[in-house]
Chain A
Amino acid sequence: MTISEQTKIELRELMSRYPQSRSALLPMLHLVQSVEGYVSQEGIEVCAVEVGLSTAEVSAVASFYTMFKRYPVGKHHIGVCTNSMCALLGGDNIWRTLSKELDAGHDETTADSMFTLERIECQAACTHAPVMTVNWEFMDDMTEQKAAQVVSDLRAGKDLQATRGAKVRTFKDVQRTIAGFDDGLVDEPSIDASMLAGLNEFKNSTKGGK
């Protein structure tokens, strides 16, 4: 695959957002990943030319960040949080279930290129543990059953809604959102009971006629 002229225009658009164009490098690599499904050598070269760095300099940056992948990611990226809180609340079992179901280990992609599985670190959602992500959208309060269902729904091409986030699209689609381009999904409902826990408690106590 090659980086199109249209993508180069968008890379320049990202650069123009910053006082110094190199600041756009992370979003630019996200955009490359949204086009290629990973940070390809060509993507690195294009970014280097645009920003005015050597390819070695851009590679050094890309390799520092875990979100940038050196091999093509499957259609869907599945993350399972196995940091302490999630692990103890069921995340380890979810990991085992999915790893078996997909026949893939950490950072591995299924033979049909449908899924890439990754053990992820705390996703800033411990109140919703155990947490899983599909293309980085939250799948909160998971169980082994729900996690397996998510995978089978994705296989069947069914519509799926993130718990706090948008409807599930592909890894590449979401990479484009992360790079900083609008996707029209901002209004999808995403406030849940855990986020309202304190507010509801407050309202109950004041309603209780104090």
Chain B
Amino acid sequence: MTTPLVPNLTLHWDDADSHTLTGYQRHGGYSALKKAFTAGADGVIQIVKDSGLRGRGGAGFPTGMKWGFVPQNDGKPHYLVVNADESEPGACKDIPLMIANPHSLVEGVIISSFAIRANHAFIYIRGETPHPIRRVRAAVAAAYQAGLLGKNIQGSGFDLDVVVHSGAGAYICGEETALLDSLEGRRGQPRLKPPFPAVAGLYASPTVINNAETIASVPAIINNGADWYKSYGTEKSPGIKLFAVSGHVKRPGIYEAPLGITMRELITYAGGMKSDLPLKFWIPGGSSVPMLTADHLDIPLTYEDMAAAGTMLGTGTPMVFDTSTSVVKAVIRWIEFYKHESCGKCTPCREGTYWMVDILKRMEKGKAQLSDMDLLVDISAQISGRSFCALGDAAATPFPAALKYFKEEFEEVIKMAGAQA
């Protein structure tokens, strides 16, 4: 049986005013807020725990559990920080979400802040994207005007201020602790963990950092209940997700579906392969996770099944490449990206990405030797697990992953270019 699409966050994107308060409220927007106030803070955390919602920023950490780590009655201010820095190559779901449905994010921010007892929330939006910045700023302003933000929201006694913040072009600021440093007005470099942000985050106070899609998913869960949410997806990966399918398909775009849908189904929904060329490889969720091939099209897109297949669901934004693609070129551009974005704090990542790009460029120019492939594998191994943050591990991912399936292609490029030179 085919997995059906389930528009939830995307259901009203074809309304001309889907981004406005009126548009959002026409379809029941902000009704979850009242339910949240009735359920109480602990009640909300429990519902989110029961729903099984997992973080949509890449790692899939259970959201309710994360909220539960925030100390209670510690006398310190608590903060909610929304990670809307979307910059991972392939990831393109949070930006459209903020353009089309910014109020789902704002309502999610209010409910989530209420749950973790935060009176201050920040939405950290990628700086290079003025349109979502406009739309989220306007949504926040409208919410203030309607008494949905500010003091004593809807007579609940709960106060919340929300600041919409712009980044300035640094992928590493998507890493949650680097994001906090950046939000404090510093260079965005990762912090040592522990202490974890739930204990000492923004301004050394307890802080929850969640992805924009994670937070925007909360209102529907409160409205319809944990059981409703769990009725989609699998036991370990419950719920609905935005899948942004890009690349060589006829209709690239946003497809909202239960977790557990397969790549074959998504490609079918997307109209099939673009020029009817066969698929060569695909990546389930951003350039930081290993690629798969046509042999893996029927594996459910869940956290656990992707892990079993040797990759990760990541951001859940599959990139599809047909046989016209040079895997060598794709890999070079990704590794150049990691080199460019390495924050320079630790040596394996800073130096390793430099050397990898150097060798790959040599390969492109026809000056590489077959032994350079071993060198690249070796450098990847030296970076992986030895870096300060996950960007290093990500940089060490594309080459070995590509080599697993396309070793001959790398060899050919080396030999052919060598012949040309």
Contacts and interface: CB of A to CB of B under 8 A. Distances in A.
Contacts of B169: 65-68
Given A67-B169, A121-B341, A88 B130 contact: no
A190 B89 contact: no
A97 to B, nearest CB: 19
A201 B269 contact: yes
B92 A136 contact: no
Interface in B120-139: 120, 126-131, 133-135, 137-138
B188 interface: yes
A61 B185 CA distance: 8
A166 B168 contact: no
Contact of A193 (B95, B244, B253): B253
In this complex, which of B129, B245, B343 has the most chain A Cβ atoms within 10 angstroms of its Cβ?
Answer: B129
A74 interface: no
Given A22-B184, A85-B319, A199-B10, A194 B253 contact: yes
Contacts of B329: 84, 87-88
A83 interface: yes
Given A127-B253, A137-B131, A180-B137, A87 B333 contact: yes
Contacts of A66: 168-170
Interface residues of A, number: 71
A163 to B, nearest CB: 10
Interface in A189-204: 189-191, 193-202
Contacts of B168: 26, 29-30, 65-68
B331 to A, nearest CB: 8
A13 to B, nearest CB: 12
Interface in A79-129: 79, 82-85, 87-89, 120-129
Contact of A195 (B254, B287, B334): B254
A143 interface: no
B16 interface: yes
Contact of B127 (A60, A67, A121, A191): A67
A51 B333 contact: no
Contacts of A64: 170, 187-188, 343
Nearest to A79: B128
B128 A67 contact: yes
Contact of A124 (B10, B86, B135, B138): B86
A193 B251 CA distance: 9
A182 B128 contact: no
A124 B187 contact: no
Nearest to A200: B14
Interface string B314-330: 00010101000110011
A19 B224 CA distance: 35
Given A20-B184, A198-B255, A126 B167 contact: no
A133 to B, nearest CB: 7
Contact of B246 (A29, A79, A126, A190): A126
Contacts, number: 236
Interface stretch (B158-166, B226-234, B372-380): B158-166
A125 to B, nearest CB: 5
Given A67-B127, A127-B245, A195-B254, A186 B13 contact: no
Nearest to A53: B185
A177 interface: yes
A73 interface: no
Nearest to B183: A23
A186 B326 CA distance: 40
B301 interface: no
Contact of A178 (B20, B130, B185): B130
Interface string A134-174: 01111000000000000000000000001011100000001
Contact of A191 (B18, B246, B247, B325): B18
A197 B185 contact: no
Contacts of B203: 19-20
B100 A121 contact: no
A33 to B, nearest CB: 9
Interface string B226-260: 00000000000000000111110001111111000
In this complex, which of A124, A187, A199, A200 has the most chain B Cβ atoms within 10 angstroms of its Cβ?
Answer: A124
Contact of B185 (A23, A200, A202): A23
Contacts of B364: none
Contact of A197 (B95, B254, B287): B254
Nearest to B331: A84
B182 interface: yes
B193 interface: no
Contacts of A121: 87, 89, 171, 337, 340-341
Closest 9 CB pairs of A and B: A197-B253, A25-B185, A198-B255, A65-B168, A194-B253, A67-B169, A126-B246, A22-B185, A66-B169
6 contacts: A67-B128, A87-B333, A197-B254, A199-B10, A201-B269, A202-B4
